[in-house]
């Protein structure tokens, strides 16, 4: 009997070790899945919103050079540097996928059909994210002249497959199509003939993944951009810029 009681702590340690190992495997799988995504469209949307937020905080006028440089520094550090995107996606999808599911989706995204599905997902989720800002005029194309860099980056990230949003002008849409036409395969690809693509699109994990990105993922990105927007508004209205080093 005593030997049984002595073995219980050892069993507990073994079970704890197994649990930690399983968690490590899941963390690695989720990390691979997150890193399979291209964050450029989400970065471009956030940068455009934040630059225009700075312009609105400045009374709708162009930012003076020193202030513009500081706003660019904030956007570079907190949006164009994609570490925030990795955290936002990781925290959104980790609770809803197992290690095996995350591994399978990451591996699928490495195939030809999987890359096309991943791109389609990114465009669809990006459209939802952008709509949350255009619908409330937080992205305002009347301010396009003051945010040319950000619009150019968005057009380059979205390309001709952007979707049905009617925000860009016809000239802008033509430029979007021209800039990406070289990278698009002629005639398209019929994914209904790709068994892996069909399996992903109809699987519980695939449907759950898309839903999670569209709801929790977009919410996490919104929350990050809102936090940066608060910092930007304070920077513009306070006028307290960092001292320039000589």
pLDDT in tens, the chain (246 residues): 555 555 556 545 544 554 445 667 789 999 999 999 999 999 999 999 999 999 999 999 999 999 999 999 999 999 999 999 999 999 999 999 999 999 999 999 999 889 999 999 999 999 999 999 999 999 998 887 888 889 889 888 887 544 434 344 445 445 544 544 444 444 456 677 888 888 999 999 999 999 999 999 999 999 999 999 999 999 999 876 665 444
Structural domain of 231? 33-238
Residue 14 lies in a domain: no
Residue 171 lies in a domain: yes
Distance CA 116, CA 192 (A): 12
Contacts of 112 (CB under 8 A, 6+ apart): 189, 194
Residue 151 lies in a domain: yes
Residue 170 lies in a domain: yes
Residue 5 lies in a domain: no
Residue 70 lies in a domain: yes
- HEC assignment per residue over the chain: CHHHHHHHHHHHHHHHHHHHHHHHHHHHHHHHHHHCCCCHHHHHHHHHHHHHHHHHHCCCCCCCHHHHHHHHHHHHHHHHCCHHHHHHHHHHHCCCCCHHHHHHHHHHCCCHHHHHHHHHHHHHHHHHHHHHHHCCCCCCHHHHHHCHHHHHHHHHHHHHHCCCCCCCCHHHHHHHHHHHHHHCCCCCCCHHHCHHHHHHHHCHHHHHHHHHHHHHHHHHHHHHHHHHHHHHHHHHHHCCCCCCCC
Residue 22 lies in a domain: no
Total domains present in the chain: 1
Residue 130 lies in a domain: yes
Contacts of 181 (CB under 8 A, 6+ apart): 160
């Amino acid at each position: 009997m005593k030997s049984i009681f002595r073995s219980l702590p050892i069993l507990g340690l073994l079970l704890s070790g197994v649990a930690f190992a399983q968690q490590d495997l899941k963390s690695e799988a989720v990390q691979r899945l997150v890193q399979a995504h291209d964050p450029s469209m989400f970065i471009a949307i956030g940068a455009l919103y934040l630059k225009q937020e700075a312009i609105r905080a400045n009374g709708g006028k162009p930012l003076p050079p020193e202030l513009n440089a500081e706003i660019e520094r904030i956007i570079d550090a907190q949006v164009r540097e994609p570490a925030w995107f990795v955290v936002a996606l990781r925290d959104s999808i980790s609770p809803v996928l197992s290690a095996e599911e995350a591994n399978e989706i990451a591996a699928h995204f490495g195939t030809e059909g999987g890359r096309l599905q991943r791109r389609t997902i990114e465009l669809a989720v990006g459209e939802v994210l952008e709509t949350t800002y255009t619908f409330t005029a937080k992205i305002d194309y009347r301010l396009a002249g003051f945010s040319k860099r950000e619009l150019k980056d968005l057009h380059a990230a979205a390309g001709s497959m952007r979707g049905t949003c009617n925000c860009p002008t016809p000239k802008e849409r033509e430029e979007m199509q021209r800039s990406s036409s070289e990278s698009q395969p002629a005639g398209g690809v019929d994914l209904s003939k790709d068994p892996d693509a069909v399996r992903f699109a109809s699987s519980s994990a695939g449907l759950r993944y898309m839903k999670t990105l569209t709801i929790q993922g977009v919410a996490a990105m919104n929350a990050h951009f809102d936090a940066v927007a608060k910092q930007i508004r304070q920077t513009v209205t306070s006028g307290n810029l960092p001292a320039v080093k000589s």
